[in-house]
Amino acid sequence: MKHLALLLVSTFVVIFVVACSPAPTATPVPPTATPTLIPPTATPTPVPPTATATPIPPTSTPTPIPPTPTPTLDPTKGSVKGILVTWDSKKAVAKMRVVLAQVEPNGDISLNINTSPQTTSDDTGAFVIKDVQPGKYELVVIVSTSQVQGGQTAVNFGFVNDDAGKIYVFDLKAGQVIDLGTKRAKVNIP
């Protein structure tokens, strides 16, 4: 019985120690870390090789530019355009001064080689004179000029004629563009 009493006392001590000892506490376990997503390594964008330009051959012959473009107008003024050729040979009146001589009400003409509306014809004889006051005009071609005694200017010129050989006269209105077409001039081109 001695053993039994010792066994009882030992059991009692173990129960007492367990009962008197503080209640076990759970040791906190750190939460499992959320895995951080690592972005995939960026794939480099391939760089295309440098292209070399290959000329493209023309597929057709370019259209020539018309010799007498339509001018932009001031609505209070007019413009005149055309192509001039010589009377006899119908050769282009190229690189010549083309001047408008105003026809007065009494039939006289008024022309100032410095201030009258004018231009220079191109290689084909084409010309455009823009921003002209409305009125009645004749077309004059200045072939050459020279200074003479007394400071005067001598002018070698010719008039532009119609097909019958008469001096060509036209009436220009505000906002109008007159296309004379091809006209012949009685001029001697050196």
Per-residue pLDDT tens over the stretch 119-152: 999 999 999 999 999 999 999 998 888 888 888 8
**All structural domains of the chain:** 78-185 (2.60.40.10)
Q: What is the pLDDT of residue 73?
A: 65
Q: What pTM was computed for the model?
A: 0.59
129 forms beta bridges with 80
Instruction: Give me the residue label for tokens 């008039």.
Output: 159
Whole-angstrom distance, CA of residue 89 vs CA of residue 185:
11
Q: Three-state SS for 139?
A: strand
Q: Rounded mean pLDDT of 78-103?
A: 93
